[in-house]
Amino acid sequence: MEGTRNVVRFANAVRAARLHHVSSIAVAGGSFRGEFTEDSFDEGQELGQPYYRTKFDAEKIVRGEARVPFRVYRPGIVIGASVDGAADRVDGIYYSFKIIQRLRDALPSWVPLVGIEGGRLNLVPVDFVARAIAHISDRPGLDGQVFHLVDPSPASFGDTLNVFCRAAHAPQFSLRIDARAAAILPGDLTKMLQSWTVFQTVKRQVLEGINVPEAAISYASVRTRFTCAKAEKALDGSGIEVPPLAAYAWKIWDYYERHLDPTAPTAPNFRAALTDKVALVTGASSGIGRATAVALASQGRR
């Protein structure tokens, strides 16, 4: 929070013409039910996850301490660029990609699977967010407003997962169960499962086996509806809009497998696998052995 506070203090000190703050729809928390508008902020929402709390607190600092004009931008869940799939980190929906890979490797693409429907997963490509902020930031008369840079018609978690399954040529989740069906279970049974040590241990071990943080699972059940009337009005006539996920999902998947997959044969992954290792290559005077030794040496191995 000190970083945001220092920026606000600096803007106040130099009497900046305008302060632009990039927040997130995460300010709504993970359990808010109903419509969260661009005018919504402190609605008594639960902010259990640290990420939700930090985004909320940072925006609160801007709102309460800025003495200069400001604008707030709340992007949805940002993924790679729609033009080429480029991204620089693996989080959010990317956590599901390793699961999709394993399903593709284990089963034919025509095998129907059972999964969860989940809530709305508001994905937006990074190039849309960048273009939208650049355009809105230059428009006059919009100070003091908040803009939701989101997909106005987001798909459910289940539909989103299937889009990426198709891009990966993996089996799809033909039968999806709404998580709200759990409400028909007796309350005592639900509480018992949540508190049962064995259940929680198995769940944690499964997630660790595919490197998925347990907190990421909560994003699949978010049922908040984010309106974006102000953003749409500010972008009207600019040609800037969220492209359909199905139109560029294959680019996101392709970039992931080529550059971001931790098991892909890339130079960074090669170096990471060799860190703190001593390699012994036999028959290194020629042929494959020599080529392997040269490749290891180029990565600083000994």
Instruction: Render pLDDT for 181-203 as a digit per residue (tens, 0 to 9).
Output: 555 545 554 555 455 454 444 44
pLDDT at 202: 42
* CATH number of the domain to which 53 belongs: 3.40.50.720
Do residue 201 and residue 159 come from a single domain?
Answer: yes
Please state the rounded mean pLDDT for residues 33-55.
92
- Distance from the Cα of residue 38 to its chain's centroid: 21
**262 against 159, higher pLDDT:** 159
pLDDT at 22: 97
**20 against 202, higher pLDDT:** 20
Do residue 159 and residue 65 come from a single domain?
Answer: yes
Please state the rounded mean pLDDT for residues 254-265.
89
> How is residue 47 annotated by DSSP?
-
pLDDT digit string (tens) for 223-253?
Answer: 899 999 999 999 999 999 999 999 999 999 9
Do residue 301 and residue 247 come from a single domain?
Answer: no
Instruction: For residues 104 and 170, give the distance between their C-alpha atoms in angstroms, rounded to a whole number.
Output: 4
Range of the domain at 218: 2-264
What are φ and ψ of residue 169, in 5° steps?
60, 40
Range from 23-37, 57-71, 236-250 carrying the lowest mean pLDDT:
23-37
How much of the chain, in percent, has pLDDT values that exceed 70? 84
pLDDT, the chain, mean: 85
**203 against 167, higher pLDDT:** 167
**Shortest CA distance to 170 belongs to which of 267, 99, 225?**
99
Do residue 133 and residue 245 come from a single domain?
Answer: yes
93: CB partners within 8 A, 6+ apart = 77, 79, 121, 123, 160, 164
Instruction: For residues 100 and 17, give the distance between their C-alpha atoms in angstroms, rounded to a whole number.
Output: 48
Q: How many domains does the chain fold into?
A: 2
Do residue 229 and residue 245 come from a single domain?
Answer: yes
How much of the chain, in percent, has pLDDT values that exceed 90? 55
pLDDT at 215: 54
**Range 253-257 contact pairs with CB under 8 angstroms and sequence separation of 24 or more:** 253/85, 253/97, 253/164, 253/167, 253/168, 254/85, 254/167, 255/80, 255/84, 255/85, 255/86, 255/87, 256/80, 256/85, 256/87, 256/90, 256/94, 256/97, 257/101
pLDDT at 302: 56
Do residue 153 and residue 169 come from a single domain?
Answer: yes
pLDDT at 272: 72
Do residue 25 and residue 60 come from a single domain?
Answer: yes
Please state the rounded mean pLDDT for residues 276-295.
78
Do residue 94 and residue 219 come from a single domain?
Answer: yes
Helices (H) and strands (E) in the chain, counts: 11, 9
Pairing of strands 19-22, 70-75: parallel
Instruction: For residues 216 and 157, give the distance between their C-alpha atoms in angstroms, rounded to a whole number.
Output: 13
pLDDT digit string (tens) for 168-182?
Answer: 999 999 887 765 555
Beta partners for 34?
224
Do residue 155 and residue 284 come from a single domain?
Answer: no
Please state the rounded mean pLDDT for residues 106-131.
91
Do residue 141 and residue 10 come from a single domain?
Answer: yes
Radius of gyration of the chain (CA): 23
Distances (CA, A) of 280 to 240, 266, 297: 55, 21, 11
Query: Which pLDDT band holds residue 114 (cuts at 50, 70, 90)?
Result: confident
Range from 32-41, 57-66, 80-89, 270-279 carrying the lowest mean pLDDT:
270-279
Instruction: For residues 158 and 284, give the distance between their C-alpha atoms in angstroms, rounded to a whole number.
Output: 51
pLDDT at 48: 82
Please state the rounded mean pLDDT for residues 90-117.
88
280: CB partners within 8 A, 6+ apart = none
